[in-house]
Each structure stands twice: as C-alpha cells, then as structure tokens.
Homo-oligomer: A and B are copies of this chain.
Amino acid sequence: MEFSDVLSKRRSVRHFNTKLAVSDQDLHALLRAAVSAPSAGNIQPWRFYIVRSPEARERLAAALPQRWATSAPVVIVVCVDPRPCAARYSDRGEYLYSIQDTAAATQNILLAAVDRGLATCWIGAFDECAVADAIGATRPITPVAVIPVGFSAESSAKPARRPLDEVTTWL
C-alpha cells in the first residue's frame, strides 16, 4: 500500500472480528517492521511477546483493564530491556532512548498492520507488573505497549488533530 494511504487509514480499533485469525506471515511482517525502527546506538532494546494461544490470552486478559483487547486473535506486548541503554547512556538511555526506541518500533507495527489490512490499538494504560507476570517477562524487562492485532469489526473516523500552526513554530 502507498505510504500516504497507510498513514491516513490507521485507526485505533477496539472491536475485532473474532473469527478471522492472523497468519504467521503477517505477524512476521509486523515484527520485521518493528525491528527496522532506529534505536540509539543500534542497541535494539525491544522484546516482543506474541500472545496467541487461548491460555496465554486468558492470562493476559486477566491482567489488563481493557478486556476487549484480548478479543483480538493476537496481542503483541512490546517490552523494553533497559539494561544496555542504561549501561551505555546512563539515565538518558534508560528513561528516554529506550522508551523512544520501543515506541518507534510500536509505531512501525501499527503502520505495517494497516499495510496488511490488519487493525490495531496502542494500549498504554496497564499495570506493568501484572502484564509482565502474565507473559512471563522477568525484571527488568518491562512491558511498555500492548497491541491487539486482528481484523477490524468497526469503522471509525480518525480523531481530529489540532491545526498544524498550533503545534509548529517556524524559525
């Protein structure tokens, strides 16, 4: 799909077709998109947990306030391993770069999903420890984003954006 169409078609989807599965091929495409993001010092602090089996989805559902999220056939939990960034770049690496790098990877997943006709939502409001327990991630590996992935069962307009001149300063 044309990049401009991918951008304009992306939505935060919260209702999924529960009968359509996401193929391994699609999931690999999303993961390849994720890791093509840049990262500070090419450290690649991201870790991806692909939650797909009924048991794993049930555990994750119990840990998430957004019960609708696990109505999607797959949920990708994006985690950060802050250790190498912290070791090389100190606090700025741990609290800024590693969060930015995993966010760039997350954004690539959202866009790659649109490119393949899939729908997603970026979820950030959850208890990190509960989600880590549910997926078996051990400290200091920390979940930073939860992304249900499936086929949309809704149609929604893109929430309005502020005019560019409200958020831009030309120097």
Contact = CB atoms under 8 A, between A and B. Distances in A.
A147 to B, nearest CB: 11
Interface string A95-118: 111011101101110111011000
Copies in the complex: 2
B38 A144 contact: no
Given A10-B36, A100-B144, 6 more contacts: A3-B112, A12-B38, A38-B122, A40-B124, A49-B169, A92-B125
Given A3-B3, A96-B144, A47 B169 contact: yes
A53 interface: yes
Given A31-B164, A103-B107, A2 B1 contact: yes
A170 B95 CA distance: 27
B97 A100 contact: no
Interface size class, chain A: 35 or more
The 10 A-B residue pairs whose C-beta atoms are closest, nearest first, are A103-B103, A56-B171, A100-B103, A104-B107, A3-B115, A107-B107, A42-B159, A3-B6, A48-B168, A35-B161
Contacts of A110: 38
B124 A92 contact: yes
Contact of A100 (B50, B52, B56, B99): B99
Interface in A123-150: 124-125, 135-136, 144-145
B164 A35 contact: yes
